Structure 1
Amino acid sequence: MKKLYILFIAALATFGVQAQVDRSIMPKPGPAPEINLAEPESFELSNGLKVMVVENHKLPRVSIQLTIDNPPILEGDKAGVSSLTGSLLGLGSKNISKDDFNEEIDFLGARLSFGSQSAFASSLSKYFPRMMELMADAAINPNFTQEEFEKEKAKLITGLKAEEKDVSAIAGRVQRALAYGKDHPYGEFTTEETVNNVKLTDVLQFYRKYFVPANAYLVVIGDVTFDQVKKLTEENFTSWTKAVPPSLSFSQPNDAQYTQINFVDMPNAVQSEIAVQNLVELKMKDDDYLPALVANQILGGGGEGRLFLNLREDKGYTYGSYSAIGNDKYEVSRFRATASVRNVVTDSSVVEILKEIDQIVNEPVTEKELANTKAKYTGRFVLALEQPQTIANYALNIEKEGLPKDFYKTYLERIDDISIEDVQNAAKKYFSTSNARVVVAGKGSEVLENLEKVSVNGKKIPVLYYDKTGKKTAKPDYNAEMPEGLTATAIIEKYVDAIGGKSKLESVESYAMSATAEMQGMKLEMEMKKTSKDQFMQDVKMMGNSVSKQVLDGDKGYAVGQGQRKDLSPEEIEKVKAESATFPELNYLAVGGIALDGMETVGDKKAYKIKVTDTKTVYYDAETGLKLQEVTIAEMQGQQVKQTLMFDDYKEVSGILFPYKITQSMGPQNIEFIVTEIKVNDGVSPADFE
């Protein structure tokens, strides 16, 4: 027996040595694990509302999600009615005033929000019965008042006005309009005109037609019991009027007949927004749904995607380039490959994106790319299973999308079975460079000349021109003739006269300005003070703490950033002096050296371009003479970075016009400062420059 025991130990030792040797060889993956996915309990009310319950008693919390799964809705000349409906829902009910409703939600420490065809609530489980009451009351008995309607309408219009100079927002709007057509629910967009067409009666009509239980799902997750949910749902939602939303019809979108560049001129753009897009008919229940997702992930699904590695890591054209493929059970969706790039590399970026799409269509992906992507999807899927919300989402998808009951139970197995050939077939089917729309929104005066020369596979790509609404237009003309004999000095003199006159400006010994802005949800406060004696102070604060400060007092000065103080060098002092004058244009007239460098469009205005230095250019409105924009080239970490200041909303203070909206742009970031106060010859003391 002892001998047998020794032999057994020896065998184990031999196996251990062999195992160490075998570690140099990649082990073969085992079979995909079988997923035992719990199914939520469910029931249906007589009015058509389908209810799913996922019990999870780990924490004393509960969430309630209401989803109404209607087909796309075309709003036409009243686009915005759905948005207004969503913003008015949840403002109390016919039984509870808005203030009392919100006060109770806050008192319960809960959340409750509505969309035009959805609602969401969360709270401690002990308040669940009351939250069901409040959600149902607000959903079934909305309190649509004229007063609240006018408030929400004004908010929506304010937001739309802000978007009119947002290059990214305009680009997205035009991309959708060109893909689907403006008479399609996915291609139409909301404007101030369409919002003004909407009346309160339109909101009521939209609500009655589309906020109905026929296609509605109520998902309850958390520390509840099925019997409790069923009882409360029957008590609170049975009175929801049974109705069937009307069937809708609209034009069917088509891809472009040939690959083309659709250019939108945005003179205020500091970078170009690029989207290579084509339509796809992809649904979750399609056999090649998962191979299509894998193909997209390899192309541009994240930081390891080919687009990112090419345009960012290799070329340095952008902060990131990505792709996405949509799926829709009702309509065609889109494949999109996108990037926000520096103006100077716009044409090159278009070429590289098209090249990457061509490559994944025409050449098989590598074993490594496929293995890494499968591992990523497997990891995401397994991690998601830890969340109770996942079980509900999967069950909801099976219901809404008409998926097989075992869709998620076999998910990992089907991911594991995807072959290189499957990926390439999906890429060929859903990605296209033969009839793609390359939508570019950017500053035409800087990018268009090279963009018109773009060719792929030896074939030049035609450029078509569109305005900010997606309407076809003529090629922008950047060669507007200037009046004969016009000089830079005359333009500056016109500006000085426009804001108050030379004598008025020369009487200003100092002024103080305060402004506020928002950045990533945080409030910024800016204070700026200037005098005619080479004194300057600018302090930007966040939450009361200084994040950036610059001070000049004659021939000395300092800067503070991230808590570190640094004295300014003689060269830096001279640069700050140039900007510290109460009105730099008076210096331009006195010293000279400025040059007229042509005309450009800034926003929707023609502007004279004045070159002040090799690194600074200023633009003045050709009609009013007011300053519209300053562009400065700065050196940062060995690279040249363009910084733009835009001036708008001029108002009079002490007989002088000052801009009350100053937008600072650097790279993809825009910060809009709204001036709150300006004091002339007041509010400044020597202590400000210490």
Structure 2
Amino acid sequence: MKKIVIIATSLFLSLSMQAQDRPQPKPGPAPKINIGKPQTFELKNGLKVLVVENDKLPRISYNLTIDNAPYTEGAKKGVADLTSSLIGNGTKTISKDAFNEEIDFLGASINFGGNGAFASGLSKYSTRIMELMADGALNPVFTQEEFDKEKAKLIEGLKAEEKSVPSIAGRVQRVLAYGKSHPSGEYLSEETINNVTLADVSQNYATYFNPQNAYLVIVGDVKFAEVKANVEKLFGTWKKGVAPQVTYSSPKDVQYTQINFVDAPNAVQSEIAAVHITNLKMTDKDYFAALVANQILGGDFNSYLNMNLREAHGWTYGARSGLRGNKYTSNFSATTQVRNAVTDSAVVEILKEIKRIRTEKVSDETLQNVKAGYIGKFVMDIEKPTTVARYALQTKTQGLPSDFYENYIKNINAVTADDVLRVSKKYFLADNLRIVIVSKAGDVLPGLEKLNIPIFYFDKYGNKVEKPEEKKASADVTAKSVLEKYITAVGGQKAVTDVKSLFLTGSTTVPGAPAPLTYINKTDANGKLMIELTMSGMSMMKQVVNGNTGFMAQQGQKMNLEGEMLEDMKGLAHPFPEVNLLKKEGVSLKGIESQDGKDCYAIVNGKTTSYFDIATGLKVADVTATPQGSSAITYKDYRDVKGVKIPYNYIMNVGFDLDIKISEIKVNEGVSDADFQ
């Protein structure tokens, strides 16, 4: 079954960006920034309105933001999510379908959430677009039917992320950095979502969706007087309210740098994040120096972290750091994803680069290049109406000086190497880091323990647990005995031998793809294999092995298989590849490991580790090391087909979970020599 991993790895192989050595052009004079100043007014109910007239394009955008302080939801975490998803599903005056049809007819875009709404479109429809947005935001209809649908979708989304290592890592990072009682540390669960009722949603809307802290930013081809009249007409009836005052404990950093480890037996690579709390504000005098320092450390492609972990060592597709100003408590993080074998080395290099920026002055060339890149992006962004709207809003909500963005370039250019060194010592903490690692304990803990950094263990919800126990197989268990038990579990030696060919047909979906993929797999016992993925009848990829030869065809290009890849495919060219493993030298028993929630024997064959359920003998998963990290596939839903058990469900991790569901399996029929030509 490892054959599916090979085709998926080929299909979803990412193309790496290659840095090119080019002479840096000399910087010219700083461009003069002219950001449209908003005209403002305020309604009696407290809604603040900012209008920026811009007639360069015949377009208009409306951004309604309710700037409430973050709040906790406790046992009903999910009420805000459900409120957000229900706003805009029709109003008291127009049905959901009619509402969406009119938006499509106007060629507009309107989105709603618990913290406001956004709309954009052609300026000739500006009045109607504002009417629809105001109606959807101020007159929502919350029905039990729509509530039940959105609740089911939210729970289904949680289940889909249950085994996602990046999702687990993100949740644990927030829980440990902020604490579960902090708004940024709370997380959704099926239990808390099920605690939410329709009445809770209505109450949440009534409590928090009010104009006291609301801002409406309008940018585009409009006239102030006309817009003002329309806003007063459409939003003047919005009932005035008072958002609750919220309090919660401020999060604290750890007293000393430590590793917070989460065992994820299904992990095909390690998620690493070095995090600590920050209180950087956009009004702080250090703000611009901190932005530049973060850009140097891990903010862009040429940063210290990325040049080290990606370019110098080839361990990752990218390493990044994040630091931003916020009027509420935020955090600094340095993150990457690496293959398990180099997890400890990656931690060492991350800490080295943090120490470097705290102790060594950045070179003049690097500093100038980073500032030039930052300024270039800033200049490009201000051409976008959405950026102008965001800047106008931030000026108000973050309490910025009115000329903050006009002086942006000047303030970036004023940052010196001494400034970078100073703020790095303040905002990149070397002694109070949580190094949160989510990975496979058996693969990475021995290396991490050698770093002499204290290690504490947590489950996937941030609860403290004991160190994962290593389980050992009994002396009488061997790779041969595990494989023989598998053959017995799927039907026995005779039944397996009687299978001369297999023909599998199934389907899967790829995020963003216009149509589902059809999966076809044909094998025979004479060393032949054909795998093909098609979309709407068109071949997307095809791999064939016919004895000692093979090829791969993709997008009209054909390539002969050679060397290691051909040998791997030849090993899979059998209805039950485990039969070939029984005859192969060098196959070994690694031990007992958990996989997909089951205790399994781990059998190593070159770069592939196969996992067999101790209880049933059936194969649970294959994990194959690749230059990019590793590929994994889980086997589920074994069913009897003419005396042998075959999985009807393959879940493959290729950066996301690719769920292949088999619809038909034919034994000893539907396969001919012509399939392998």
Q: Same fold per TM (> 0.5)?
A: yes
Among 598, 613, 617, the residue aligned to 1:621: 613
Q: Which residue does the alignment assign to 1:403?
A: 400
Q: Which residue does the alignment assign to 1:530?
A: 523
**How far has the Cα of 1:497 moved from its partner?**
4.7
**For the structure 1 residues 577 and 304, does the alpha-carbon distance in structure 2 shift closer, same or farther, using more than 3 Å as the test?**
closer
CA distance in 1, matches of 2:169, 2:508: 27
Q: Which residue does the alignment assign to 1:510?
A: 502
**How far has the Cα of 1:207 moved from its partner?**
1.1
CA distance in 2, matches of 1:406, 1:101: 40
CA distance in 2, matches of 1:656, 1:147: 44
CA distance in 1, matches of 2:261, 2:450: 13
Q: Which residue does the alignment assign to 1:334?
A: 331
Alpha carbons 1:512, 1:682 under 8 Å: kept: no
**For the structure 1 residues 624 and 212, does the alpha-carbon distance in structure 2 shift closer, same or farther, using more than 3 Å as the test?**
farther
Alpha carbons 1:653, 1:678 under 8 Å: kept: no
Give CA-to-partner distance per residue, 1:360-383, whole Å, 9 cap, x none.
112322222222222223223333
Residue 665 of structure 2 aligns to which amino acid in structure 1?
A: K
Q: Which residue does the alignment assign to 2:5?
A: none
Among 479, 482, 486, the residue aligned to 1:491: 482
CA distance in 1, matches of 2:349, 2:416: 26
Among 214, 217, 240, the residue aligned to 1:219: 217
**For the structure 1 residues 235 and 688, does the alpha-carbon distance in structure 2 shift closer, same or farther, using more than 3 Å as the test?**
farther
1:73-84 aligned within 5 A: 73-84=71-82
**For the structure 1 residues 660 and 66, does the alpha-carbon distance in structure 2 shift closer, same or farther, using more than 3 Å as the test?**
farther
Alpha carbons 1:34, 1:410 under 8 Å: kept: no
**How far has the Cα of 1:564 moved from its partner?**
2.2
1:377-526 aligned within 5 A: 377-454=374-451, 460-478=452-470, 480-483=471-474, 485-500=476-491, 505-506=496-497, 508=499, 509-519=501-511, 521=513, 523-526=516-519
Residue 453 of structure 2 aligns to which amino acid in structure 1?
A: I
**For the structure 1 residues 658 and 155, does the alpha-carbon distance in structure 2 shift closer, same or farther, using more than 3 Å as the test?**
farther
Q: Which residue does the alignment assign to 2:649?
A: 661
**For the structure 1 residues 93 and 626, does the alpha-carbon distance in structure 2 shift closer, same or farther, using more than 3 Å as the test?**
farther
Q: Percent identity of the aligned residues? A: 49
CA distance in 2, matches of 1:259, 1:169: 23
Alpha carbons 2:63, 2:389 under 8 Å: kept: no
Alpha carbons 2:322, 2:332 under 8 Å: kept: yes
1:88-487 aligned within 5 A: 88-329=86-327, 331-454=328-451, 460-478=452-470, 480-483=471-474, 485-487=476-478
Q: Which residue does the alignment assign to 2:552?
A: 559
**How far has the Cα of 1:541 moved from its partner?**
2.9
CA distance in 1, matches of 2:544, 2:268: 28
Residue 346 of structure 2 aligns to which amino acid in structure 1?
A: S
Give CA-to-partner distance per residue, 1:549-587, whole Å, 9 cap, x none.
112455654321342224456986664343132223345
**How far has the Cα of 1:410 moved from its partner?**
2.2
Unaligned residue ranges in structure 2 (runs of 5+)? 1-24
Residue 79 of structure 1 aligns to which amino acid in structure 2?
A: K
CA distance in 1, matches of 2:158, 2:669: 36
Q: Which residue does the alignment assign to 1:689?
A: 676
Tell me, yes or no, if structure 1 residue 605 matches structure 2 residue 572. no
CA distance in 2, matches of 1:440, 1:213: 42
Q: Which residue does the alignment assign to 2:576?
A: 583
**How far has the Cα of 1:437 moved from its partner?**
0.8
**How far has the Cα of 1:99 moved from its partner?**
1.7
CA distance in 2, matches of 1:526, 1:136: 47
Give CA-to-partner distance per residue, 1:463-522, whole Å, 9 cap, x none.
1111111111111112x1434533444433443454455555555443322121315545
CA distance in 2, matches of 1:623, 1:28: 67
Q: Which residue does the alignment assign to 1:677?
A: 663
CA distance in 2, matches of 1:640, 1:470: 28
**How far has the Cα of 1:185 moved from its partner?**
0.5
CA distance in 1, matches of 2:629, 2:353: 28
CA distance in 1, matches of 2:410, 2:68: 32
- Secondary structure of 2:442's counterpart equals helix
Tell me, yes or no, if structure 1 residue 53 matches structure 2 residue 44. no
CA distance in 1, matches of 2:504, 2:549: 20
Residue 658 of structure 2 aligns to which amino acid in structure 1?
A: E
Q: Which residue does the alignment assign to 2:633?
A: 645
Moved more, 484-493 or 258-267: 484-493
CA distance in 2, matches of 1:138, 1:683: 58
Q: When the two structures are superposed, what TM-score results if normalisation uses the length of structure 2?
A: 0.89
**How far has the Cα of 1:400 moved from its partner?**
0.5
Alpha carbons 1:40, 1:391 under 8 Å: kept: no
CA distance in 1, matches of 2:316, 2:445: 19
Residue 444 of structure 1 aligns to which amino acid in structure 2?
A: A
CA distance in 1, matches of 2:638, 2:75: 33
**For the structure 1 residues 392 and 655, does the alpha-carbon distance in structure 2 shift closer, same or farther, using more than 3 Å as the test?**
same
CA distance in 1, matches of 2:582, 2:417: 68
CA distance in 2, matches of 1:651, 1:149: 37
**For the structure 1 residues 625 and 196, does the alpha-carbon distance in structure 2 shift closer, same or farther, using more than 3 Å as the test?**
farther
- Secondary structure of 2:465's counterpart equals coil
Q: Which residue does the alignment assign to 1:64?
A: 62
- Secondary structure of 1:62's counterpart equals strand
CA distance in 1, matches of 2:582, 2:367: 65
Residue 249 of structure 1 aligns to which amino acid in structure 2?
A: T
> Which structure: larger Rg?
1
**How far has the Cα of 1:299 moved from its partner?**
1.2
Unaligned residue ranges in structure 1 (runs of 5+)? 1-25, 455-459
**How far has the Cα of 1:186 moved from its partner?**
0.4
Aligned residue pairs: how many?
650
CA distance in 1, matches of 2:295, 2:175: 26
**How far has the Cα of 1:390 moved from its partner?**
3.2
- Secondary structure of 1:518's counterpart equals coil
Moved more, 570-579 or 395-404: 570-579
RMSD of the alignment, in Å? 2.7
Moved more, 71-80 or 554-563: 554-563
